[in-house]
Amino acid sequence: MTYDFAPLFRTAIGFDRLARLVDTLPQDAATYPPYNIEKTGEESYKLTLAVAGFGPDDIELTVKDNALFVSGKVAEAEKGEFLHRGIAARAFTRRFVLADHMVVEGADIANGLLNVSIRRVVPESAKPRRIVINNASPAKTIEAPAAEMSKAA
């Protein structure tokens, strides 16, 4: 499916990334592992993924092109005979699109939950700034010498 964003961009500058973002949305969103996104402050967020059965060495976090990739793969354990296997330990990759200036600060895993701290860090060059309007100097009038004025009269 293709969208035409031309009408939206008539008065917008630099929003061509929006079209690319829509094109990269997954067509069939994965549901494993389940996750929460929580706003923890004015410019901070926490991503929590339920990763029961995974350890710190089984999970990889990667940030690339304004996207956070969370991948998990459990190393093969001893083969045993399961009467019921309800804890999913299958490999996964989840992709989360990050807005501009979002920085992944860190991650920890406890009680089967992976917590990823994300913060918006806007550089000084991207913050609003006031532009000073210079006043053009008034036009100078050139006066003719008095001798030339008397000739004209």
**Predicted confidence band at 31 (pLDDT cuts at 50, 70, 90)?**
confident
Residue 28 is predicted with a pLDDT of: 47
Range with the lowest mean pLDDT among 15-24, 70-79, 140-149? 15-24
Confidence class for position 29, pLDDT limits 50, 70, 90: low
43 three-class SS? coil
Instruction: Tell which wins on pLDDT, 104 or 23.
Output: 104
Q: Is 0.75 surpassed by the pTM of this model?
A: no
CATH tag, 8-76+85-128: 2.60.40.790
More confident residue, 5 or 106: 106
- Most confident range (mean pLDDT) of 19-28, 73-82, 125-134 is 125-134
- Measure the CA–CA gap between 53 and 89, rounded to whole angstroms: 6
Domain-wise residue ranges, the chain? 8-76+85-128
Phi, psi angle pair for 61, to nearest 5°: -110, 130
Average pLDDT of the chain is 79
> For residue range 55-112, what is the model confidence (pLDDT) as tens digits?
899 999 999 988 899 999 987 766 778 888 787 778 999 999 888 888 999 999 999 9
Mean pLDDT, rounded, for 129-150? 71
Q: What is the pLDDT averaged over residues 42-54?
A: 91
CB 101 within 8 A of CB 120: yes
Q: Are 49 and 111 in contact (CB under 8 A)?
A: no
